Amino acid sequence: MILLRRLLGDVLRRQRQRQGRTLREVSSSARVSLGYLSEVERGQKEASSELLSAICDALEVRMSQVMREVSDELSLAELAESAASTTEKVPAPMRPVLNPVSVTSVTGVPEERVTIKPPKEAVDVVAA
């Protein structure tokens, strides 16, 4: 289950860390206890809109920017959760076994081996 308070806490922590600021500095500026701010950043407490506004002001970042980041992360988390549940229910398509081919990097040192095998039957490819 995706928890909004955890995503919000992660975004707030990243904003603070990008600025190289401590919890103490931000909590003092936002006029919120250090412990409570820490719990908000760890997703253990729900931040009210007033508290979120004070934290955003202390970080000198727009609340809309914070919420946009949270929204983006929520979308990614939902997609990942959906993909995980779909993967469990629907078996993955069979992929052909490929013959070994050496791949060489720009420096001339082989980095990995890739196996390529031609398909046993012809396949029509249609461009969309």
Q: What angle do CA 25, 31, 33 make, to 5 degrees?
A: 80
* Higher-scoring residue by pLDDT: 119, 29: 29
pLDDT exceeds cutoff 90 at 99: no
Rounded to whole angstroms, how far apart are CA atoms 85 and 103? Answer: 35
Asked if 39 and 6 count as a contact pair (C-beta separation under 8 A), the reply is no
Domain locations in the chain?
Answer: 2-83
Q: What is the pTM of this model?
A: 0.65
Q: Is the pLDDT of residue 111 over 60?
A: no
Q: What is the mean pLDDT of residues 76-86?
A: 85
The residue to which tokens 């997703």 are assigned = 43
pLDDT at residue 86, rounded to an integer? 72
On average, the pLDDT of the chain sits at 82
Domain 2-83 has CATH 3.90.650.10: no
